[in-house]
């Protein structure tokens, strides 16, 4: 979050402490700033806007636009500048309202008493404040385990299976109030783990399941991404973390008070933060936008983006015509599963449904996964658990019950297989396209080909006619010239006698029929 005033390293209002460590017998007063070893991050007191309330937090030290990435006492600010940070007798780092108060406003809250004199609080160059014993190297507490609204490189999101630690991002209440807001991003414990953004208790967006290299619902996480992503799911923890391939890149992920996740990088030459990714940003991003058993396709040329999954139809058709699809879809009438010739329709480039109702078995192949689904009457679909990791497709996810939040992408996602009966299967091809649609596409293609052929033939015939016309014109001109020349020659060389009309009329008795010999192509002949 941004603060109205700007501190570049340390200003006249704050005193820099040259090292990155608070020793056990030391304290940090309001106005003093702790710097990490590489001077990338600072730790100290700050205020927001025109308020006099004081908070303790961590921000970027070398960025002119001061940006806070972690707040300790976010819900219990100090009213003035008399605050103090020091160790308690039990070894916890605490924030006190003044030198004279004994009850802390905030504490690292380590349950066990720490008596080691070599205990320190150290700010690392990754932005992590760590409570550790410098003699043994043992860590007791770290701010990365208790994030606020910002996800930094090398931080983890997720939970431990033992100990109850849950690393959750929680938004600020407003740009000038770092108190705990009602937008959270946390690892879901149900089904196959995935990160889910909540707006209060409402699911707002989800990453989709981990595919081996990325989240299925975050297509921007391709192989050319500038981050190294890591997902851990074992007996000890379920967590996600990322690193940067270039140490000079300054980046952060933020959950803001509006319920948007934003990825920023710092552009030094422009002296500003640049947002290059955010969610949700389109209708299909929002959780269960098309209702239960619905399918969201933002690329579709249909009138709107929602349809039903194969084998399903709108629960209330009239509502869908009104673009109200919150009721979702249900199985078509007369449709039942678990029959002899059930099959699957494959949806490509899909964000697979919410894994709340899914079961996972990492030891099965995709072919074995299909057989397992067919053998279980409650199974409505299946997919590969890891489909683009090392070793190709492996693992099996099967769904049981309603399917939520399924959508498609243009060049991302994975294959999802939906179970249908033989009658429904006959309406679809192997790639999840309606056979009726395929026929229409084929007819359109054939019509286009015929039209193109007709145009080619028309142009060819027209060209031939034009050439023939030119040839005839040339021949006619030659013949006319020849006849004209011959007629001139004939006029000069004629030997036949010529008679006028009066002479001919007298000779034929005025063209009497008695003197008519007959008629030919050039008229009657008289003797």
Q: Region 325-350: what's the mean pLDDT? A: 86
Q: Contacts for 423-430 with beta carbons within 8 Å, 24 or more apart? A: 423/335, 424/310, 424/311, 424/332, 424/335, 424/345, 425/341, 425/342, 425/343, 425/344, 425/345, 427/310, 428/310, 428/345, 430/346
Residue 511: inside a domain, yes or no?
yes
Domain boundary among 68, 101, 121: 121
Query: Do 264 and 254 form a contact (C-beta atoms < 8 A)?
Result: yes
Of the pLDDT bands very low, low, confident and very high (cuts 50, 70, 90), residue 484 is very low
Residue 227: inside a domain, yes or no?
no
Given this model, what pLDDT does residue 490 score? 39
Q: pLDDT tens digits, residue range 365-377?
A: 999 999 999 999 9
Q: Which two tokens stand for residue 154?
A: 């090398």
Which run of H or of E encompasses 185?
A: strand 177-187
502 and 377 belong to one structural domain: no
Three-state secondary-structure class, residue 204: strand
Quote the mean pLDDT of the chain. 84
Three-state secondary-structure class, residue 412: coil
73 and 2 belong to one structural domain: yes
Please list the residues that pair with 400 across neighbouring strands: 379
Tell me which of 378 and 213 has the higher pLDDT.
Answer: 378
396 and 409 belong to one structural domain: yes
Of the pLDDT bands very low, low, confident and very high (cuts 50, 70, 90), residue 431 is very low
Three-state secondary-structure class, residue 314: strand
Which run of H or of E encompasses 446?
A: helix 435-493
Of the pLDDT bands very low, low, confident and very high (cuts 50, 70, 90), residue 163 is confident
Round to whole Å and give the CA distance between 69 and 253: 10
Q: Which two tokens stand for residue 321?
A: 């015509």
Nearest to 484 by CA among 494, 495, 476: 476
Of the pLDDT bands very low, low, confident and very high (cuts 50, 70, 90), residue 438 is very low
Residue 107: inside a domain, yes or no?
yes
Given this model, what pLDDT does residue 491 score? 44
427 and 439 belong to one structural domain: no
Given this model, what pLDDT does residue 411 score? 83
Given this model, what pLDDT does residue 394 score? 86
Percent of the chain scored above 70 by pLDDT?
76
367 and 299 belong to one structural domain: yes
Nearest to 130 by CA among 34, 240, 219: 34
Parent domain of 397: 285-433
Nearest to 383 by CA among 187, 406, 158: 406
SS3 content of the chain, % helix, strand, coil (to 5): 20, 35, 45
Q: Which two tokens stand for residue 66?
A: 């001061």
Residue 51's CATH number? 2.90.10
405 and 513 belong to one structural domain: no
Q: Which two tokens stand for residue 44?
A: 């100290």
289 and 429 belong to one structural domain: yes
Nearest to 258 by CA among 341, 334, 321, 175: 175
The residue to which tokens 């007298």 are assigned? 506
Given this model, what pLDDT does residue 289 score? 95
Whether the per-residue pLDDT at 488 is higher than 70: the answer is no
Which of 32-41, 298-307, 407-416, 457-466 has the lowest average pLDDT? Answer: 457-466
Given this model, what pLDDT does residue 292 score? 96
Q: Region 471-478: what's the mean pLDDT? A: 45
Which of 79-83, 310-314, 490-494 has the lowest average pLDDT? Answer: 490-494
Round to whole Å and give the CA distance between 266 and 253: 12
Given this model, what pLDDT does residue 514 score? 64
Which of 90-104, 155-169, 293-307 has the lowest average pLDDT? Answer: 293-307
Whether the per-residue pLDDT at 167 is higher than 90: the answer is yes
Given this model, what pLDDT does residue 142 score? 98
Round to whole Å and give the CA distance between 42 and 18: 11
Round to whole Å and give the CA distance between 29 and 45: 8
pTM comes to: 0.78
Residue 270: inside a domain, yes or no?
no
Given this model, what pLDDT does residue 486 score? 43
Supply the DSSP string of 222-234, one letter for each residue. -TT-SEEEEEEES
420 and 299 belong to one structural domain: yes
Residue 294: inside a domain, yes or no?
yes
454 and 516 belong to one structural domain: no
Structurally, the chain folds into a number of domains equal to 4
Given this model, what pLDDT does residue 476 score? 42
Residue 133: inside a domain, yes or no?
no
The residue to which tokens 């070893």 are assigned? 37
426 and 314 belong to one structural domain: yes
Nearest to 276 by CA among 262, 261, 286: 262
Q: Region 314-326: what's the mean pLDDT? A: 88
427 and 445 belong to one structural domain: no
Round to whole Å and give the CA distance between 144 and 130: 8
Given this model, what pLDDT does residue 302 score? 61
Round to whole Å and give the CA distance between 138 and 142: 11
| Ordered alpha helix ranges (H), 352-434 | 366-374, 422-425
Of the pLDDT bands very low, low, confident and very high (cuts 50, 70, 90), residue 12 is very low
502 and 399 belong to one structural domain: no
Tell me which of 442 and 96 has the higher pLDDT.
Answer: 96
Residue 258: inside a domain, yes or no?
no
Given this model, what pLDDT does residue 454 score? 74
Domain boundary among 76, 91, 121: 121
Taken in order 103, 108, 111, 113, is the CA torsion positive or negative? negative
Phi, psi of 196 (to 5 degrees): -125, 130
In terms of residues, how long is the chain? 527
Residue 13: inside a domain, yes or no?
yes
Domain boundary among 99, 121, 143: 121
Given this model, what pLDDT does residue 487 score? 41
Q: Which two tokens stand for residue 510?
A: 């005025």
Round to whole Å and give the CA distance between 198 and 415: 27
Rg (CA), the chain: 42
Q: What is the largest CA-CA distance in the chain?
A: 158
């Amino acid at each position: 979050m941004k603060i109205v005033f700007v501190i570049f390293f340390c200003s006249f209002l704050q005193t820099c402490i040259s090292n990155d460590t608070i020793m056990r017998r030391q304290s940090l007063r309001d106005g003093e700033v702790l710097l990490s070893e590489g001077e990338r991050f600072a730790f100290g007191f700050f205020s927001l806007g025109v308020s006099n309330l004081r908070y303790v937090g961590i921000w970027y030290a070398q960025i002119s636009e001061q940006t806070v990435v972690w707040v300790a006492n976010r819900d219990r600010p100090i009213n003035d500048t008399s605050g103090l940070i020091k160790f308690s007798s039990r070894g916890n780092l605490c924030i006190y309202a003044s030198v004279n108060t004994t009850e802390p406003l905030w504490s690292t809250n380590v349950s066990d008493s720490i008596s080691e004199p070599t205990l320190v609080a150290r700010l690392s160059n990754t932005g992590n404040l760590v409570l550790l014993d410098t003699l043994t190297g043992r860590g007791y507490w770290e701010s990365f385990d208790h994030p606020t609204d910002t996800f930094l490189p090398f931080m983890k999101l997720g939970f431990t299976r033992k100990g109850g630690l849950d690393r959750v991002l929680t938004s600020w209440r407003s740009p000038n109030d770092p108190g705990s807001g009602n937008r959270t991003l946390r690892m879901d414990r149900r089904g196959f783990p995935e990160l889910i953004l909540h707006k209060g208790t409402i699911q707002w967006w989800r990453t989709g399941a981990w595919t081996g290299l990325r989240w299925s619902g975050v297509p921007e996480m391709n192989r050319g991404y500038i981050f190294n992503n890591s997902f851990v799911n074992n007996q000890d923890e379920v967590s996600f973390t990322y690193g940067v391939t270039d140490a000079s890149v300054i980046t952060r992920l933020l959950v803001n008070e509006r319920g948007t996740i934003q990825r920023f990088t710092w552009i030094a030459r422009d002296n500003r933060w640049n947002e290059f990714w955010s969610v949700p940003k389109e209708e299909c991003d929002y959780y269960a936008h098309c209702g239960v058993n619905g399918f969201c396709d933002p690329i579709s040329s249909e009138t709107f983006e929602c349809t039903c999954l194969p084998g399903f139809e709108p629960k209330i058709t009239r509502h869908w015509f009104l673009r109200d699809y919150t009721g979702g879809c249900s199985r078509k009438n007369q449709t039942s599963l678990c029959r002899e010739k059930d099959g699957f329709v494959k949806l490509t480039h899909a964000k697979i449904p919410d894994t709340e109702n899914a079961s996972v078995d990492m030891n099965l192949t995709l072919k074995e996964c299909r057989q397992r689904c067919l053998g279980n009457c409650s199974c409505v679909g299946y997919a590969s658990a890891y489909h683009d990791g090392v070793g190709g497709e492996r693992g099996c996810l099967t769904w049981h019950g309603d399917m939520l939040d399924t959508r498609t992408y243009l060049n991302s996602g994975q294959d999802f297989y939906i179970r249908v009966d033989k009658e429904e299967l006959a309406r679809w091809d192997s790639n999840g396209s309606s056979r009726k649609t395929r026929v229409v596409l084929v007819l359109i293609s054939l019509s286009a080909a015929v039209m193109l052929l007709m145009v080619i033939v028309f142009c060819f015939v027209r060209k031939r006619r034009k050439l023939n016309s030119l040839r005839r014109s040339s021949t006619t001109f030659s013949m006319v010239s020849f006849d004209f020349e011959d007629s001139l020659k004939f006029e000069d060389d004629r030997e036949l006698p010529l008679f006028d009309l009066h002479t001919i009329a007298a000779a034929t008795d005025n063209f009497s029929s008695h003197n008519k010999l007959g008629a030919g192509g050039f008229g009657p002949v008289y003797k």
